[in-house]
């Protein structure tokens, strides 16, 4: 940004999002914002005058990827405008401008200012905004127009939990909830724009509260009444914010899908304490029992970190045993990555890379075993599949079961239709199914 040189205003843009679903949502909103400003979206970064890299800072690899992407883009086309958005923008700010030639830096709470920042950059002016005014971006964003059958809706942002390994509280700021009515309005707009399934998003989505005693379950019950909306999901949740109201919603609300992503991170109480997770192995398992009592078929998902500083082989074995105790339908597992500025980065007992690799392999083998078992247990079961896209074979479509499994089936039902099926062959990552009946086209198009 140093050189006060004017640039040609961009006519086309491409937004590339990394990281979590909240970033995907932000990327969609930035694209809508730039389109409303008169720019045209391109299918890839190569063809765009302006590339927005919507970045993730969660692990070192994610951050380094940003710099290699900038380098590649610059090499291919030195005139291209590059904007860095997302969590790396928030965490590194000016540092990005020092390390790489970029035109705009914009944080996750300030991206409603993107069009102005782009025109500042065109004039050769500094274009950096990493202010964190909570929620004000939502008021400044254009209305939702056209979306696919499944849509994300951010309802809560930020995190106050400060797990000792995690950058999110620093990159996304304090826990804040969007107002009830605004969320219901956006859900209606998404349904009008084509959504049949909405996933409510937040770094701690189950901490959503309107400050007046209403919690996420009240929001879910309100969305249950939105006509045309067929499915509700939410992610990602913290074990300590799993209220009885939310658990009961899994028993009572038909549109709420039987799926829960509830990261536990480790099975060892000593490691959980060092992580500042504020739940124990036991309290986690008790929550799972209550959830299963409300919804016996629920698909459970989670996140795990292996090789947290000081993790012994015996403590890692406790992670394997909690995996066996829960029986996940799916789960994500990561090698611990020290993040600058977080307490764990300077803790003693950092674990060697080879040890982490080996533990990760054992953990993933256990998770894969449970995932396959979960899928196999559903063979022969009847359920609905929401068609999301075309499959690889002619006549084949791809959709999702209520338990969030990918399902391949032969059907003439178009994208956005709910098809009732019998589940057939189960693999580790997907199932096949036989169509029993599809919604009438008029319903699907509604
Ligand atoms: N808010 C969610 C998840 C946020 S980040 C929660 O509390 O569960 C998504 C996942 O990335 C985390 O659940 C954790 O498993 C992983 N993660 C976060 N920081 C990490 C780090 N420094 N190294 C490795 N994995 C990390
Ligand atoms: Fe990170 Fe912990 Fe907050 Fe999740 S709860 S976002 S892991 S600090
Ligand atoms: Fe990454 Fe930021 Fe999400 S660090 S995981 S993009 S909140």
Render pLDDT for 375-395 as a digit per residue (tens, 0 to 9).
999 999 999 999 999 999 899
Question: Residue 440: what pLDDT?
Answer: 64
Q: Does residue 253 contact residue 220 with C-beta atoms inside 8 Å? A: yes
Q: At what angle do helices 180-192 and 216-224 cross, to 10 degrees?
A: 40
Burial of 303 (0-12, 13-18, 19+ CB in 10 A): middle
Q: Mutate which of 56, 59, 91, 159 to test ligand 2's pocket (most atoms within 8 Å of Cβ)? A: 159
292 to 68, 260, 326: CA distances (angstroms) = 44, 10, 10
Please name the CATH architecture into which domain 147-377 falls.
Answer: Alpha-Beta Horseshoe (3.80)
Question: Residue 438: what pLDDT?
Answer: 85
Judge if the beta carbon of residue 23 lies within 6 A of ligand 3: yes
| Mean pLDDT of all residues belonging to the chain | 95
Listed range (10-24, 65-79, 225-239) with the worst mean pLDDT:
65-79
State whether the Cα torsion 372-373-379-385 is positive or negative.
Answer: negative
In the predicted structure, residue 446 carries a pLDDT above the cut 60: no
Question: Residue 445: what pLDDT?
Answer: 41
In the predicted structure, residue 1 carries a pLDDT above the cut 70: no
Question: Residue 139: what pLDDT?
Answer: 87
In the predicted structure, residue 444 carries a pLDDT above the cut 80: no
At 149, give phi and psi (nearest 5°): -65, -25
In the predicted structure, residue 54 carries a pLDDT above the cut 80: yes
Judge if the beta carbon of residue 235 lies within 6 A of ligand 3: no
What number is the average pLDDT over the span 106-128? 95
Confidence tier at 133 by pLDDT (50, 70, 90): confident
What number is the average pLDDT over the span 306-323? 98
> 112-128: b or e for each residue (b if 16 or more CB lie within 10 Å)?
bbbbebbebbbeeebbb
Confidence tier at 310 by pLDDT (50, 70, 90): very high
Q: Mutate which of 238, 276, 334, 341 to test ligand 2's pocket (most atoms within 8 Å of Cβ)? A: 238
Binding positions for [4Fe-4S] cluster: 20, 56, 87, 159, 163, 166
Three-state DSSP class for residue 340:
coil
Q: Atom 6 of ligand 3 has which residue's CA nearest to it?
A: 56
Domain 382-438, classified CATH 2.40.50.140, yes or no = yes
CA distance 6 to 97: 17
**Token output for 159:** 């995190």
In the predicted structure, residue 443 carries a pLDDT above the cut 70: no
Three-state DSSP class for residue 56:
coil
Nearest to 445 by CA among 422, 416, 419: 416
Residue extents of the structural domains in the chain? 12-129, 147-377, 382-438
- Which CATH code is given to the segment(s) 12-129? 3.40.50.12160
In the predicted structure, residue 293 carries a pLDDT above the cut 60: yes
């Amino acid at each position: 940004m140093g050189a006060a040189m004017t640039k040609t205003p961009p006519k086309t843009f491409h937004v590339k999002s990394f990281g979590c679903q909240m970033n995907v949502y932000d990327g969609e909103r930035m694209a809508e914002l730039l389109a409303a400003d008169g720019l045209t979206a391109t299918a890839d970064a190569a063809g765009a005058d302006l590339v927005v890299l919507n970045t993730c800072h969660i692990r070192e690899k994610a951050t380094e990827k940003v710099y290699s992407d900038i380098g590649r883009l610059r090499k291919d086309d030195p005139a291209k405008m590059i904007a860095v958005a997302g969590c790396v923008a928030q965490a590194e700010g000016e540092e990005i401008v020092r390390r790489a030639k970029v035109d705009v830096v914009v944080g996750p709470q300030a991206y409603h200012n993107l069009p102005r920042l782009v025109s500042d950059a065109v004039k050769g002016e500094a274009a950096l905004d990493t202010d964190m005014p909570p929620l004000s971006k939502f008021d400044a964003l254009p209305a939702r127009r056209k979306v696919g059958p499944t849509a994300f809706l951010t309802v809560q942002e930020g995190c106050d939990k400060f797990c000792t390994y995690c950058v999110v509280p620093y990159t996304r700021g304090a826990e804040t909830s969007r107002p009830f009515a605004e969320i219901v309005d956006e859900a209606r707009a998404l349904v009008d724009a084509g959504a049949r399934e909405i996933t409510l998003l937040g770094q701690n989505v189950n901490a959503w509260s309107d400050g007046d005693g209403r919690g996420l379950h009240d929001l879910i019950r309100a969305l249950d009444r939105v006509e045309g909306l067929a499915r509700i999901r939410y992610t990602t949740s913290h074990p300590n914010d799993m209220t009885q109201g939310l658990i009961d919603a899994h028993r009572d609300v038909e549109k709420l899908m039987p799926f829960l992503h509830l990261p536990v991170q480790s099975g060892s109480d000593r490691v959980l304490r060092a992580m500042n997770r504020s739940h124990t192995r036991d309290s986690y398992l008790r929550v799972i029992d209550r959830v299963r009592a409300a919804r016996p078929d629920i698909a459970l998902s989670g996140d795990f970190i292996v090789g947290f500083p000081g993790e012994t082989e015996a403590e890692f074995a406790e992670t394997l045993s909690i995996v066996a105790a829960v029986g996940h339908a799916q789960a994500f597992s990561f090698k611990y990555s020290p993040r600058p500025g977080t307490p764990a980065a300077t803790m003693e007992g950092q674990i060697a890379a080879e040890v982490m690799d080996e533990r990760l392999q054992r953990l993933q083998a256990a998770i894969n075993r449970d995932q396959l078992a979960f899928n196999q247990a559903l063979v022969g079961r009847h359920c609905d599949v929401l068609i999301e896209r075309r499959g690889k074979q002619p006549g084949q479509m791809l959709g999702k079961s209520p338990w969030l499994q990918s399902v391949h089936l032969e059907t003439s039902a178009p994208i956005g239709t709910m098809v009732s099926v019998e589940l057939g062959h189960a693999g580790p990552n997907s199932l096949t199914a036989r169509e029993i009946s599809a919604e009438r086209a008029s319903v699907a198009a509604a």
